[in-house]
Structure formats: structure tokens, C-alpha cells
Amino acid sequence: MPTAESLPNHHQNGKEPAAPCRTCTDFKSWSKQQRKSISTSTTGVAKTSAADAEVVAHRKADDRTAGSGSPPNCPLDKDQLGRYTWGLLHTVAAYYPTKPTEAEERNVRTFFTTFSKLYPCEYCAKDFQQELKEMPPETKSQHTLSQWLCRMHNRVNVKLGKPEFDCTKVNERWRDGWLDGSCD
């Protein structure tokens, strides 16, 4: 077990226990530690809250809709991480201001640059960093940012042998909902 001194700074704030988080250790060790720390009743049956049950139910639903082969409530695999990340990025672009301030433009450029350095898949992160050099974010409006991100996503899709998305439908997909009303 790591000592408090050997843990990252986010564990040394005096409020968290001196135990590794999942990002600080491998999943197998972390999950073993978590099983040990679950409070048990006198019969030895683990207690779960309604909130825990809800999280598991949502995750099972997410896994079914994502077509994942991994068991529910497990760390995301590379495909799931990519799918959920693109969802976040497209949603950020969808709700970006129509007429952003200079600060908002600077913030979104910083966001994408920082994101490309923090993304957990090293190969994907380096590829995205290179793409940003070749095609920097277009931040003048919600439309230009969403179209830029759609083109970036399509470049990745081509590399992965996946179909390209029709960028004329990007707001329909990520902000407004499909015209057929299926999102209503």
C-alpha cells in the first residue's frame, strides 16, 4: 500500500484517505482495495445504496446501447472512451456561443489543446495534437466550431475505416435533435 507521501497531490489534501485512486494504480489492485473497503452488515452481505444501484443500472443501459462487450460497471475500453469523448466534444461545440467573446474563443482553443495533452489513449492524444497543428480550431462562432470539429472527427473516422458523418447535419445530431422528431 502506498504511503501518503508517495501518493499524488490530489490525495494529500488531508481530506482523502491515504489510499490509491483508480487513476493511481492498476484496475485489478484498485478493485481489490474497493472490495475490502465496502461496508458489510453483520451477515457479511455488502450494503449498496439506492444511488449505487442507479449508477449500475445506468451503466448497464449505456453498455447495451453502446454495443460494448464488457461487463457493466467496468472501466471504459478504448472504443467506449472514444465514443463518449466525441459526444462530449460535439456537445461542447453545439452549445458554444453564436458570437463568442475573445475570452471564450481563447478558452475553447485552450480547452482543445489541453484536452489533446490529457487524453488517456497516448496514441490518440498524439494524433489529435498533430491534427490540431494542421487544422487549428475555428472559434469565430458555434457554426464554425461545430463544422471544424465534425471535419476533425471525420479525419479520425477515415483513419479508422469508419464512415464519414454529413457535417450539414451536425447541429441536428448534437444540439437540436433529428428533424423526424425521434429525439422528442
Per-domain residue ranges of the chain: 78-174
Q: Which residue has the higher pLDDT, 16 or 121?
A: 121
pLDDT value for 149: 98
Highest mean pLDDT among 6-15, 46-55, 60-69, 79-88: 79-88
Residue 58's contacts (CB-CB under 8 Å, 6 or more residues apart) are none
Quick one: pLDDT band at residue 71, thresholds 50, 70, 90? Answer: confident
pLDDT value for 37: 55
Q: Which residue has the higher pLDDT, 85 or 50?
A: 85
Whether residue 80 has pLDDT greater than 60: yes
Q: Which residue has the higher pLDDT, 48 or 81?
A: 81
- Per DSSP, the residues of 23-56 read GGS-HHHHHHHHHHHS-B-TT-PBP--HHHHHHH
pLDDT value for 35: 58
Whether residue 122 has pLDDT greater than 80: yes
What pLDDT, in 10s, does the model give residues 142-175? 999 999 999 999 999 999 999 999 999 999 999 9
pLDDT value for 72: 81
What pLDDT, in 10s, does the model give residues 5-44? 444 443 333 444 455 544 444 555 545 565 565 544 444 4
Q: Which CATH class is domain 78-174?
A: mainly alpha
Beta-carbon count within 10 A of 137 CB: 19
Whether residue 177 has pLDDT greater than 70: yes
Burial of 42 (0-12, 13-18, 19+ CB in 10 A): exposed
Which residue in 79, 70, 104, 93 sits closest to 143, CA to CA? 93
pLDDT value for 19: 54
Distance CA 118, CA 125 (A): 7
Q: Which residue has the higher pLDDT, 18 or 177?
A: 177
Label residue 181 left, alpha or beta by phi (over 0 means left) and psi (-120 to 50 means alpha).
left
What pLDDT, in 10s, does the model give residues 84-117? 999 999 999 999 999 999 999 999 999 999 999 9
Cell of 158: 477515415
